[in-house]
Structure 1
Amino acid sequence: MDKRSRKLLEEAESLARRQQFDNAIKSLNALLEREPQAIDALILRGDMHYAKGELEMAEHDLEEVLAMSMDYKPRLIYQLGLVEYDLEKYEEAAVHHKAYLAQADERDRRRERVERYLKNAEVAAELRRNPVPFSPESIGPSINTPGKEYLPAFSADGRYLVYTVNYTGGEDFYYSELKEDGTWTKGQALTGVNTLENEGAQSMSADGRLLYFTGCNWPDSYGSCDLYYARREKGEWGNLRHAATPINSAQWDTQPSLSANGDYLYFTSTRPGGFGGSDIWRCKRGLDGRFGNPENLGPTINTEGNEQSPFLHADGQTLYFASNTHPGLGDFDIFISRMQLDGSWSEPKNIGYPINTSAGEGTLVVSLNGKKAYYTTDQNTQKGSPLDLDIYQFDLYQEARPQSLTYVEGLVVDAQTKEIIEGADVLITAEGKTTTFAQVKTLEDGTFLIVLPMGENYAFEVSREGYLFYSDRFELAGAFDLEKPYELSIPLQPVPKELSVNGEQPIILKNVLFVSGSAELLPMSEMELNRLVELLEKNVKLNIRINGHTDNVGDDAANQVLSEARAKSVYSFLVNQGIPTERLSYKGFGESQPLAGNDTPEGRKLNRRTEFEVISLGAQ
């Protein structure tokens, strides 16, 4: 180059160092008019266009450079690929990343990084070639406004919604309730939780009575952002509490996701011991009701980059989260991973285009039945206007749905007075499991709600001090897409202080089961029989009779014998557990006392039962 051209290049380099990109480009344009083959000037102008976000012009300059020489500065090959990736030209980006790797030797310090770029480009190209079904629509004008609404959280029944808003420069919670016509009531501020500080990024318990959320820069916080919780009692939110240690740390702790049965709390944290910037962690609730030390979800989920926005579906095994490092289309993409039988996580799968785009995607929330998903978008922001964030919903395609679920919603009352019973223990155990699946207490209005994944059978018990217990059974093994939840009204019978004139109502032991056609107890019966043992030990005045019943299939005499043999098996179990024989008796009724018609499988199933009946009250 001549002296004038060299002066223009030095001038452009100086302007670039001071980040005066427009003036630097003017000097480079003047230079390249004089010296079109000035390769260093082309490289610098490409850098300036890239810094300004002028990707097409940066691509043009890099292509010209590589047309002159592929080996002058080999790094420009993969840098062109990065520009093409940002332009969503994923196939072209992959070509240039491959070209760089083909000429790089094994000692190249950029090799590992470019291999990651190549993987991203190949995955992005594949996602664009195979779009997934996606037809989003607004959740409705009663929620969405020209302001910012985002991060929805729903109760398990889908009837109660809490979301974050930012209308005045600070974050607050609003709530809405689903009407009978399928629309939402107008959003209202969540008094009792909102403060003068920022609160957001919330997760609600299945029954809609407990809210975990993020508070930033609160007076009692350990770090920049900590987790807090609040409770809803008698329709009012309050009782705010700092989640404290070991959940919170001096680092960034945010974005909670509470499992449906309340056993695990997932959240995002930058605490030490992770794999990258922000990782997803979880705490397990102990038998004392307190959460234990956080555990990292491990390198299958977490990377050297950032993972955030976890949403654990109510099935307890499907995790949706955002990552900027797992291969995808843009800044943050949404991924899905499923818990395996051994407790490990499956390799995260990109949820697909156009749900994910070249822009950043955040939290994805999925309904209980897995059919509907919710997310936040800024697509309604008008050019030159303030940011407008809205909550949208769409039908989630089949492959990205979680396991099928239903829920049990119940009201527990006194069988005699019909008054509600607060604090009754509700216990659900999956068949064949030794640990409790879910355990809750009825709330102040006597209600409870528990989510049940399909594919298993469950034993169900309700008990309260001073009452005989209630049992039920939910057979969901092999059942799919059960649209209607279980809605139960449960009358608990008080432990009798004296026998009524008409006798006491027998209590059916719905989880006492036998080998077909036999009096041999199945192992799964022991849990409920042990509950009966506890009842008798606590109430030593109770003398009971075990009653056996059958359906009308087969010979009358054989059914009579079978019913008596089954009643005796339960009697023998109780005796072996230390219950005195003088407090026990048994009787078989055969098919003589049906509860339903025997002309349907459902009716016959109801008629095949074992029950206990209080027949006398002994001395204390």
Structure 2
Amino acid sequence: MNRLYLLGVLLLLLPAFSKAQEYKQIPIETETGIKVHRKAPKQEVQLLFPNLNKIPYYHDQKKLDAIQKLEKKRRYEEALPLLEAYVNNFGIENFYKDTPLIWRLGQLLEKQGQSEKAKSLYRMVLKHHRSDVRRVYSYYDSLEQNSKDYYVPLNYYYEMVEYRKSVATFKPPKGVYLNMGNAINSPYEDYGPTINADDEVLIYTSQRNTQGLNGRANEDLFYTQQVNGYWEEGKSFGKPINSIYNEGSACLSRDGNTLYFARCEAPDGYGNCDLYVATKQADGTWGNIQNLGKQVNSTSWDSQPTLTANEDTIYFASDRLGGFGLSDIYYTYKNKKGEWSPAENAGPVINTRESEVSPFFHPLYQVLYFSSRGQLYNFGDFDIYKTYRVGGQWQEPRNIGPLVNGRGSEYYFTIDSQSKNLYYARSEAQDIHNLDLFSFPLPMEAHPLAVTKIEGTLLDSVTQKPLSGMISVIDLENGIEISSKYIRPDGSFEFDLIDHTRYMLLIQSPDFFTIEREIALEQDTAFQIMTTLIDYSVPMVFSNIEFDQNQSDIKEEMKPILDEVAIFLVDHPTYRLEISGHTDSAGDPEFNLSLSQDRANAIRKYIEDKVNLTDGRIDAYGFGSTKPLREEKTQEDRRINRRVEFRLIKPEKAERGGK
């Protein structure tokens, strides 16, 4: 059934990539049917492919000959509309048999300046090709290098968070990869979570009952109830839902009285696994179990149903013949008679030549989550993606980021009704054959309302050239970091965040002092940040580091720049600092020598105390008046000679975490 099938496809095919979109205000339907204005992605320019669920393959040799003739004569403007109309008529088989035509259409569109539409077609080529397309990958990557995300590796990211705890109250995301524990999970496979509308009952699938049909492991439905914020020990649904046949991957109606689930190898089934429906009886038991019928089910594997917010559409996974890949996402909707319509393929934007499984439709917004190994920008094996429905079309899926997707496989993503917590199944990269249920607060990339774009560019204030570095975003409402990214090659960065929320941007690099920028996000925001590079060959002298005469006490006006130096040392734990104190020639040379040493020591102590540095990374020297910068003829000459120099020393080896 669902797990048995997934284990069969875990060994195949390759990783891939996704892209952020432009935005505008559009109405999104809520579960109540009331339309509220929220930020949502601007509709992408896509072909509609009206023949997808009507014909398997489209071919018209006369039209192909006409297109080819125009292209040979380089009459590309005339060939473009004919080729676009031809590709728009594609059936599912065309996507792997005629992939070069999609690539060619993208090239013609790019020549005409329609680059975004061209890139959407290049993505389809990469998702649906069945041959060597390294040239296409290389070309597409060159187009996307300044628009794709470069995530910081999680191990390095968490090191940075730990270092920064000494100077800030910002915290890493709460409980990432938090296993739900022995009350829910068993030594066997546990997966397929779904939560009711009140967020009080979690239903899931488990293989802990091993006495199945023909002695094989048996999949059954279990449930757990949340009491005082804790999930109780899981309990079996019992008969008649559970049987000697495999049951799993359920979803509930909002009122909790209708249960959709998969059952495998049953006598009344049409294929390996079918979708069923059950209703709650007056006494609280489940009954009236019915197969959804041959309009929905196939002679293959059909499983993992999810209901839309108004409960008139079911999305599910199937490996039936005639799809794009090993398994696809399909849907069925209720017709005017209240009957489920023939199942249809969800199309080439969601589905790929590999496997798409475990769809989840958000209970409030038009957002579909699913697991895939064929989408672009993949962190592990199966990753979870989200896609927005705008203008009746699914937009390019986005990987929901490394705080959910690790190096192993992730499936069965589910969110509670308030979009506070997520529940999903994952396996470690070393053990793909065992799944446990995990739950933790919903990260930003996975949030359905994270669609307000903040973008910027980091430039050198002297040369105007782009700089490299790492940028983190902190949700100031909760003091929690959002996963960090490297700045792109052109100096740009971009995050999708939640509107009407306060954020802090932290930009770090070994080339400049950490930049902090607080933003109260009200709408899409774009800005430019200028900074000055650190020249490691020249000591730094800060104009506001001036002591009172004959004193070595740290003054308030000194603290902001000393804090910058302290934070730099925290963010770059392999770097060292030398502090050199200097005086003018007035007065007793021995007193000046002692005073300069006291001042350097005072600065060292302030920085060490500020960020709890106790490992001797700072050296402090006092030189008195022995190293003047100028001959002292004027008061200005004396002022310049009275200085504190800071020299940051790079480690011999490159710092960890670089691109």
Assess same fold via TM > 0.5. no
> TM-score, normalised to structure 2's length?
0.41
Q: Which has the larger radius of gyration?
A: 1
Please give the TM-score of this superposition, normalised by the length of structure 1: 0.44
Higher relative contact order at CA 8 Å, sep ≥6: structure 1 or structure 2? 2
